[in-house]
Amino acid sequence: MARRLRSGYTTGACAAAAAKAAVWLLLGQPRPERVEILFPDGSRHGFVVHQGKAEAGQAWASVLKDAGDDPDVTNGAEIVASVRFLPAREIPPDCVQLEQANIFLCGGAGVGRVTKPGLAVRPGEPAINPVPRRMIAAAILEGLGQDLGKGVQVVISVPMGEELAKKTLNSRLGIVGGISILGTTGIVRPVSAEAWTATIEASLSVAKETGLSEVVLSTGRTSEKGVQTLLSLPEEAYAMMGDYLEFSLLAAARRGFATIHLAGMWAKIMKAALEIPQTHVRHGALEVADGLALLARLGADQPLLASLEGVNTAREIHVRLQEQGRDNLILGVCEAARRYAEKVSGLSVRVYLVNEHTRVELHV
């Protein structure tokens, strides 16, 4: 029997764990061997503290990223958090005040800074995504044990982060100086082809054996949770396909389902509309030019296309279309994705566009 692949933790989760350990050191406690933090789904996970020290009114701690059995370029990277209490009324420069508390988050050496619009954080801010920011704030407050009424500055840094970033798409996205601190769930799940396809096949087989005529293919947990709010289907109907779009459509077709519900976020839906069979970025980033060509085919006028020429990501295209009230084009992209899925599978397909808050924006 094949060994089950081991999941790992995101850079965001590691940063939060390091921040909690650093807070303990700041409060005068000895360096812990392990710390436990809360994850977005309510679960708790423990991390080994690699290093840490308190000195001169501040403290730092680090965690080594363990990406599990399908490591990315950041596997083994040291994620460092430095913390200090802020004097009254001091606002540190180049930091972001987190919404959850009087915590100021800064990007240190090896953490990228966003320079272009279209990403999850604004230009000028450290490339630390929203969920990691919330996890870091929660970990710091948990480490404090109470709200002391003091401001806290936390600096996240990654030794060798600038070198690691050269192996990513960060420079193309306008993220300079280091890697991004990422994660939506805190967990890195193995994405080897064999593991994914075996899981997809098994999920679809269970759905068929249960007697279901409909199946839900989602690109991830966020889109799956979104579509669950609309559909009254048992849990066996849901198969997380990840980036294996065409494979999953064909696997569903072989089992003779009557209907496929296809759920995804904007970038994945746009890739489906462009008839890209495998949607992971490692198989090719979504070229903005291809996205604009698709919009042109769907009836976008020249002034709109001209206004989109400077965008860097599919996300930014979506935001711009929303801002300009071009719901017809968003709908058109979803309909194009549905046509592709129906062409591949030969089955009836419904497409659901889900946003990062697990809300279904539209379905066709």
- What is the average pLDDT score of the chain? 91
Encoded tokens for 310? 């400077």
Q: How far, in Å, CA of 10 to CA of 27, rounded?
A: 26
Domain locations in the chain as residue ranges: 8-188, 193-363
Looking only at the bridges linking them, the beta strands covering 44-48 and 34-38 are: antiparallel
Encoded tokens for 111? 């953490």
| % of the chain with per-residue pLDDT over 90 | 69
* Mean pLDDT along residues 286-313: 90
CATH 3.30.2110.10 for the 8-188 domain, yes or no? yes
3-state secondary structure string across 84-133:
EEECCCCCCCCEEECCCCCEEEEECCEECEECCCCCCCCCCCECECHHHH
> Tens digit of pLDDT for each residue in 221-259?
899 999 999 999 998 899 989 889 999 999 999 999 999
* DSSP output for 124-182: TSBSB-HHHHHHHHHHHHHHHSS--S-EEEEEEE-TTHHHHHTTSSHHHHTEESEE-B-
Q: What are the φ and ψ backbone dihedral angles of 277, each rounded to 5 degrees?
A: -75, -25
Q: Distance from CA of residue 307 to its chain's centroid?
A: 27
Coil/strand/helix, residue 77: coil
**Who has greater pLDDT, 170 or 263?**
263
Encoded tokens for 30? 């000895």
Flag whether the pTM goes above 0.75: no
**Who has greater pLDDT, 202 or 97?**
97
**Who has greater pLDDT, 175 or 337?**
337
Whether pLDDT at 166 is above 50:
yes
**Who has greater pLDDT, 127 or 288?**
127
Element (H, E) at 185: none
> Tens digit of pLDDT for each residue in 29-80?
999 999 999 999 899 999 999 999 999 899 999 999 998 876 688 999 999 9
Q: What are the φ and ψ backbone dihedral angles of 300, each rounded to 5 degrees?
A: -65, 135
Whether pLDDT at 3 is above 60:
no
178 close to 128: Cβ distance less than 8 angstroms: no
Whether the CA torsion 218, 219, 221, 225 is positive or negative: it is negative
Query: How far lies 320's CA from each of 119, 294, 307, in Å?
Result: 12, 15, 9
Give residue 90's pLDDT: 85
Query: pLDDT band for position 2 (50/70/90)?
Result: very low
> Tens digit of pLDDT for each residue in 115-134?
887 778 899 999 999 999 99
Query: pLDDT band for position 1 (50/70/90)?
Result: very low
Vertex 180 angle, CA 178 and 183, to 5°: 160
**Who has greater pLDDT, 284 or 48?**
48
